Amino acid sequence: MRPCAVLFDRDETLIEDVPYNGDPALVAPLPGVRDALDALRAAGIPVAVVSNQSGVGRGSITLAQVDAVNTRVDALLGPFAGFFVCPHGPDDGCECRKPRPKLILDAARALGVEPACCVVVGDKQSDIDAARNAGATGFRIEGAVTVREIVASLLSGPPSR
């Protein structure tokens, strides 16, 4: 079944990973990502970003800097239906840091879809675990598997209801 929404991790999934990036000028999309996102949009599938940004909790960057980077990502690869960010550090015990499901559940609610018909795409096991914990399906960017290949496989299935 085609998903009713696709939720992407940001760093090393959509854009090159720059640790604790607070500078929009450093945003560099990964190859093939724009075309894959456009294909999803053309199919009527909303796309959003779900991203741990522990640099805020660690004091390395501000939430305003994360927002500025997300604005640049949206300008280069958007439009996105939303950006859902956990600003906490790994030891903060929050409910939103992946692998906990809150970011995925919040995104699904904001998009007006059930988590079970969402797909989460990311480069870390915590992305896949967050998907599973929310009742969604997860796909991991790994090795030769890219966003382009994952999106192509998602679009080849029958539409969801």
Most distant CA pair in the chain, distance: 45
Helices (H), the chain: 33-42, 54-58, 63-77, 102-111, 125-134, 147-155
**What pLDDT score does 159 carry?**
57
Lowest-pLDDT range of 52-56, 90-94, 104-108, 136-140? 90-94
Angle formed by the axes of helices 102-111 and 125-134, nearest 10°: 60
Q: Which of 9, 106, 123, 127 is catalytic?
A: 9
Residue 4's CB is within 10 A of a number of other CB atoms, namely 21
Does 60 or 1 have the greater pLDDT score?
60
User: Among the options 11, 106, 123, 127, which is catalytic?
Assistant: 11
pLDDT band at 161, cuts 50/70/90?
very low
Is pLDDT above 70 for 45? Answer: yes
- Whether 38 sits among the annotated catalytic residues: the reply is no
Q: What is the pLDDT of residues 24-38, one digit of tens each?
A: 999 999 999 999 999
Q: Is the pLDDT of residue 110 over 60?
A: yes
Average pLDDT, the chain: 95
For the cut 50, the answer to whether the pLDDT of residue 96 exceeds it is: yes
Average pLDDT over residues 77-105: 96
Query: Has 74 been annotated as catalytic?
Result: no
121: which 2 tokens?
A: 């795409």
Rg (CA), the chain: 15
Please state, in angstroms and rounded to a whole number, the distance separating the CA atoms of residues 93 and 95. 7
Q: What is the pLDDT of residues 56-90, one digit of tens each?
A: 999 999 999 999 999 999 999 999 999 999 999 99
User: For the domain bounded by 5-155, which CATH number is listed?
Assistant: 3.40.50.1000
H/E/C letters for each residue in 90-112? CCCCCCCCCCCCHHHHHHHHHHC
Domain ranges of the chain: 5-155
Within a 10 A sphere around the Cβ of 138, how many other Cβ atoms? Answer: 22
Q: Under a CB-based contact definition with an 8 Å cutoff, are residues 18 and 58 in contact?
A: no
